[in-house]
């Protein structure tokens, strides 16, 4: 089991990937798939961006709600299985 430690209210892409036990490139790949990261009502999952000095478009910052929404979207799309979905939801609940 992956231990996720983050007292912050938002997470970097590498911290978010740990909730799924996946890599940073995997997180970026799922975000590049059109229509994949949508809520059940069809609205897109909004992920905030920062505006750092050296980043062209800013860094993505994930909330725990984003992680849960992403897990639900991936489960509905068949990209993660039931065990993976439940594990992510359990990790998210530990912080909420």
Please check whether residue 35 lies inside any domain of the structure: yes
Residue 54: predicted pLDDT: 67
Mean pLDDT of the chain: 87
54 versus 90: which is more confidently predicted? Answer: 90
Averaged pLDDT for residues 62-83: 95
Number of domains in the chain: 1
Domain with 76 in it? 13-93
pLDDT at residue number 69: 96
Averaged pLDDT, 58-77: 93
What pLDDT shows up at residue 8? Answer: 61
Residue 3 in any domain: the answer is no
Asked if residue 2 belongs to a domain, the reply is: no
Strands 48-49 and 60-61 turn out to be: antiparallel
pTM, two decimals, is 0.84
Span between the terminal Cα atoms of the chain, in Å: 19
Among 82, 73, 83, 75, smallest CA distance to 31 is for 73
């Amino acid at each position: 089991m992956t231990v996720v430690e983050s007292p912050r209210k938002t997470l970097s892409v590498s911290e978010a990937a740990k909730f799924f036990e996946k890599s940073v490139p995997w997180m970026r790949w799922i975000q590049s798939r059109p229509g994949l990261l949508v809520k059940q009502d069809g609205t897109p999952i909004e992920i905030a961006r920062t505006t750092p000095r050296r980043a062209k478009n800013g860094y993505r910052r994930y909330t725990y709600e984003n992680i849960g929404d992403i897990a639900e979207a991936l489960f509905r799309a068949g990209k993660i299985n039931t065990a993976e979905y439940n594990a992510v939801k359990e990790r998210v609940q530990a912080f909420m």
